[in-house]
Chains A and B, each alone.
Chain A
Amino acid sequence: MNKLEFLTRLRNSLERGGLNPDDINDALSYYEEVFLDAGFGNEEETAASMGSPEEVAVNILRESGIHVGGAPVMPPQRQGAPQQQGSYDNGYVPPKKKASGGAIALGVILGILTFPIWLPVLIIVVVVLFTAIIVLASLIFAIIAAAVGLIIGGIVTLFEFPALGMIALGLGLVLTGIVMLICKPAFGAAIPAMGRGIKRFCGWLAGLFKKGGKENV
């Protein structure tokens, strides 16, 4: 069980017990802190050492003067020995064993087997993203080049054909203005957005690997 699952089940149990929202939030922030203090990557062990969230909830509810009738609230997927209830008056909860790694192994195998399908898809997505970035960059570069060219050309022409030179120089300045107008908000927004997009994509990929690429089958 990870942190999120533990906290969600704890919240559900406390809500079912009718604890007021302030107390629920206080309890949840305490348990979240325990997870954070126990260290990243120790979520499973931390959750296991605290026992089931439903039993934790019963202790909190009891302390708040809410008596949960008889046995603790039982979740449908509860595993473990029910005869232990009530024998730990101080809220002591015996540590529980971790779930088997069978499911994880299966996921990894599936991921490897479906490798010929998802690798090309992955490559295409990466290439398309890369192309889009390049196209955008070249467009901007072209406008900048045109602006610079027109300004320099305009100055040179100014001495021979003042009218043409002024037109070219004017167009160049107009383009410069446009580039500045476009680039300031565009770069301001687009570059961080691209960064976020790529980061999210990578996170999604990592997620796929964790789930063994089942979604691509």
Chain B
Amino acid sequence: MGFSINAGLLDAMVLSIVQNNDTYGYEITQYLRRAVDISESTLYPVLRRLQKGEMLETYDKEFMGRNRRYYRITTKGNDSLEEYREEWRNHKKKIDSILLNEGAENHEQA
């Protein structure tokens, strides 16, 4: 991967994954790997941070005789994700205007 992913972007992507479906750590990593090159150990601090910020909450669910920790998005997490998405749209537009020579003004999106 040529471009580095910063902490905010990682937070936003994790929130988005969890918003689609309650899921567990290993699966989140596998999802993220479609887009970014991260290891299993990268995710834990992110999850912990989101949990402490009350954007994610956890519950345990039995799976093959053991407990698996599932993550669920909170209302605060949903709000935060919407902000992240808006920010990302703006950011993307600005970058594209330079990198892809696209006129920023002509790309109004909802």
Q: Which residues in A have some Cβ–Cβ distance to B below 8 Å?
A: 23, 26-27, 29-31, 33-34, 36-38, 46, 49-51, 55-56, 59-60, 62-64, 89-93, 95
Inter-chain contact A91/B40, CB cutoff 8 Å: no
Contact with A along B36-55 (1 / 0, CB 8 A): 01111110110111000000
List 20 other contacts, CB 8 Å, given A31-B41, A92-B37. A29-B69, A33-B25, A33-B26, A36-B66, A37-B25, A37-B26, A37-B27, A49-B40, A50-B39, A50-B40, A51-B39, A60-B44, A63-B49, A90-B4, A90-B5, A91-B39, A91-B45, A92-B38, A93-B39, A95-B39
B68 within 8 A of A: yes
Known contacts A62-B45, A91-B45; is A49 also within 8 Å of B39 by CB? yes
Residues of B within 8 A of A33 (CB): 24-26, 68-69
Q: How far is the CA of A93 from the CA of B45 in the complex (A)?
A: 13
Q: How far is the CA of A50 from the CA of B25 in the complex (A)?
A: 14
Residues of B within 8 A of A55 (CB): 41
Tally of chain B residues near chain A (CB < 8 A): 24
How far is the CB of B28 from the nearest CB of chain A, in Å?
11
Known contacts A27-B44, A59-B45; is A34 also within 8 Å of B6 by CB? no
Majority secondary structure of chain A interface residues (helix, strand, loop or mixed): helix
How many residue pairs link A and B with beta carbons under 8 A? The number is 73
Q: How far is the CA of A55 from the CA of B42 in the complex (A)?
A: 11
Q: How far is the CA of A37 from the CA of B10 in the complex (A)?
A: 22
Inter-chain contact A51/B48, CB cutoff 8 Å: no
Inter-chain contact A90/B41, CB cutoff 8 Å: no
Residues of A within 8 A of B6 (CB): 90
How far is the CB of B81 from the nearest CB of chain A, in Å?
19
Known contacts A33-B69, A34-B26; is A26 also within 8 Å of B39 by CB? no
